[in-house]
Amino acid sequence: MKNRLTRNWIVVGIIWAGALTMTYLNLQMIQQIKTEQESIEFMQMDDVFLKNNFEKVIQVLKRRASLHKPIDSIQIELLSIENRLRSLAQKKGLSEIRLASDQTAMQGDRIPLEMYVTSTYRDLVFWLRALETDAPFLVVTGVKMTENKDGEGYRFQVGIDFRFSVAEDENGSA
């Protein structure tokens, strides 16, 4: 009788162990399904967002691309940038234009430039606005202003970062 009772308890224990194991596996499966459903939900929300904002996303990507100028040669592009800065400065009434660049201070995809000009505050602001729209890859990092000795206008030192990306050839190498 004791032997039979022991066997019954073993069977009951095995049944309970099986039930608990199945419950645990079921909970794991439910958790996995919930995670996958959330992932699908996020993908659907992303899809809806992209469909609703496609034009804006394209504009942002174009704007982002314009913030770095693709170049083949740093030296040639620096000459081009200096000519562009001089031309724009002269158009906006700035004078005594002097540019300096230090390629040894290059930081990854940025080359710091210094521009020294004589101008009125108003003309400099117009030049800065034109620079922002004409060359978004040139970012003004700072402006220092000192009064001219003759009292006519101001002398400005403008810090500019030239942001670039090295253009890739047809093979995909830089």
The residue extents of the domains of the chain are 2-52, 68-166
- The pTM assigned to this predicted structure is 0.58
pLDDT at residue 168 in the model: 65
| Angle ∠(57,58,60) on CA atoms, nearest 5 | 65
Q: Is the dihedral of CA 83, 89, 90, 96 positive or negative?
A: negative
- Virtual torsion, Cα 156, 165, 102, 82, nearest 10 deg: -50
CATH topology of domain 68-166: Alpha-Beta Plaits (3.30.70)
| H-run or E-run covering 98 | strand 95-101
pLDDT at residue 72 in the model: 76
Task: Tell me the helices (H) and strands (E) count for the chain, helix number first.
Answer: 4, 5
Contact between 95 and 87 (Cβ < 8 Å): no
> Three-class SS of residue 135?
coil
Lowest mean pLDDT among 48-57, 127-136, 146-155: 146-155
- Tens of pLDDT, residue by residue over 38-48, are 999 999 999 99
Say how far apart CA 117 and CA 102 lie, in whole Å: 18
Say how far apart CA 135 and CA 80 lie, in whole Å: 12
Query: Can you say how many angstroms the Cα of residue 99 is from the centroid of all Cα atoms in its chain?
Result: 28
> If you average pLDDT over residues 35-39, what whole number do you get?
95
Helices 54-66 and 2-52 cross at an angle (nearest 10°) of: 70
- Tens of pLDDT, residue by residue over 7-27, are 889 999 999 999 999 999 999
> If you average pLDDT over residues 95-116, what whole number do you get?
83
Contact between 112 and 161 (Cβ < 8 Å): yes
Lowest mean pLDDT among 6-15, 57-66, 90-99, 148-157: 57-66
**Mean confidence (pLDDT) of the chain:** 85
Q: Looking at this protein, which amino acid is placed at residue 54?
A: F
Cα 46 to Cα 42, 50, 62, 64, 82: the distances in Å are 6, 6, 20, 20, 43
Residue 171 has pLDDT above 70, yes or no: no
- Tens of pLDDT, residue by residue over 63-84, are 776 677 777 777 888 888 888 8
Residue 97 has pLDDT above 60, yes or no: yes
pLDDT at residue 167 in the model: 67
Q: Which among 97, 98, 118, 115 is positioned nearest to 161, based on CA atoms?
A: 115
